Every structure is written in structure tokens, then in C-alpha cells.
Amino acid sequence: MILYIFNKLMGRGAFHEVIDQLVVALEEKDPYTGGHSSNVSDMSTDLAKEIGIKGIALEDIHLAAHLHDIGKLKISQEILNKNSKLLPHERVEIEKHAYLGFEILNKSKSLKNIAKIVLHHHERWDGRGYPYGLFEDSIPMGSRIITVADSIDAMTTNRPYRKAMQWEECIEEINRNIGLQYDPLVVEAANNLWTKWKGVKAYNRANFESVKCKSFA
């Protein structure tokens, strides 16, 4: 409801600022995600543009990428901040964040498309993802794009239980999973963008300063 009112009263520009604040709330709860939403959003926007997506569809992907993990606001802090590998029941709990994010956003009429993209951001091209096991084109394009950007950011970030991958290793891993986890078209777009991304300091968490939503136009 709050999002709907802001969207109506203040237009899309201010709307981005409200989204920043929501993401700040999430990142306060799960400091480890600091910068994640912003990185995933920037990379997803690049991927969408590379594929030729424009206008509202592009903006929806940009916003959905910022909000993709917003459902984690409803997941226990203990599980979110756990420093060791998750137990099976904890994994089940954390996987609920995709649906919980959908529930939060779907309450707003103007966010239905964004809610749907968020709902499916952990589906896999081969149908082995969650929450519904959708496959190939039945997964919204925005979700297929966010999956790739989300994986790249996760792989290239230090976690308490494993070190960040080098970019080269990450590129190989993404390409190894074409047609399994990832849409071949999205990986093709990523392959055109590696050089640009490697040069972006914000994608290196050590240099990360701000979670501010950048302009995507």
C-alpha cells in the first residue's frame, strides 16, 4: 500500500528513492547483502538492454532486480546471518523468500509485474529451480535475467564459508550452466558484457560505498 501511494503521488523518480529505503531496511537486517541489490540491479539492467528490452519492461526489470530479495525481510535473522552451511530445513525456510517477496509486492496494483519477476528469480532454465519448477520460456524474461546477475554477484563475493571467485572462474561457471540453470540468450548477453563489468569498481565489494539506485535510462 505504501509503495502504491508513493508511486501515485510522486511518480517513478521518487519511487526509486522509496525502493532504495526498502533495500536499506533489508540490508540492515542482513548486512551481508550490502551492495547485492544494487549490483544485481545494475547488471540486470545491462543484460536487459543488451537483449533489446526497452521502456517500462526495462524499468520493471531494474526495479525487480533491486527488490528481488525483499522477501528476506520476513526470514529469521538467525538463518540469514548464519556463518556456516545451511541445514536442509533452514534452506527450505530461506527459499520461501521468493514467494514472500511476491506477496509483499503483489499487494500493490502497480507492482504486479515486478512481483511476478521477483517470484520466479530462483527458477532454472531446466525446470529444477523454485518455487514452481517452471522451465525455459515459461519463466518471465526478467526473472531469467536476474538469475544470471544474482549468480554473478554471489560468486564474485566473499562468503563466510567460501572465498569469492575470480571473474575468469565466474565466467566459466556461468557458461558451464547454459541450458541448465541459465537461459542461453541471457548468457550470450553476459558474454558481451564481461569486459565492462570487470572494470566496474562497485562490483568489487571491498570498494562498495552506496546502495543508491542509479539512473538506468
Per CB under 5 A, residues contacting Fe ion are: 69, 150
Q: CB–CB of 101/67 below 8 Å? A: yes
Pick the closer one to Fe ion by CB: 50 or 69: 69
Residue among 42 and 69 whose Cβ is closer to Fe ion: 69
Give the whole-angstrom CA distance, residue 212 versus residue 48.
Answer: 20
Shortest Å distance, C-beta 122 to Fe ion: 6
Q: Shortest gap between Cβ of 159 and Fe ion (angstroms)?
A: 12
| Choice between 40 and 53, CB closer to Fe ion | 40
What 8-state DSSP symbol labels residue 71?
A: G
Pick the closer one to Fe ion by CB: 6 or 142.
142
Contacts of 185 (CB under 8 A, 6+ apart): 51
* CB of residue 145 to Fe ion, shortest distance in Å: 13
Cβ 6 to Fe ion, closest distance in Å?
A: 23
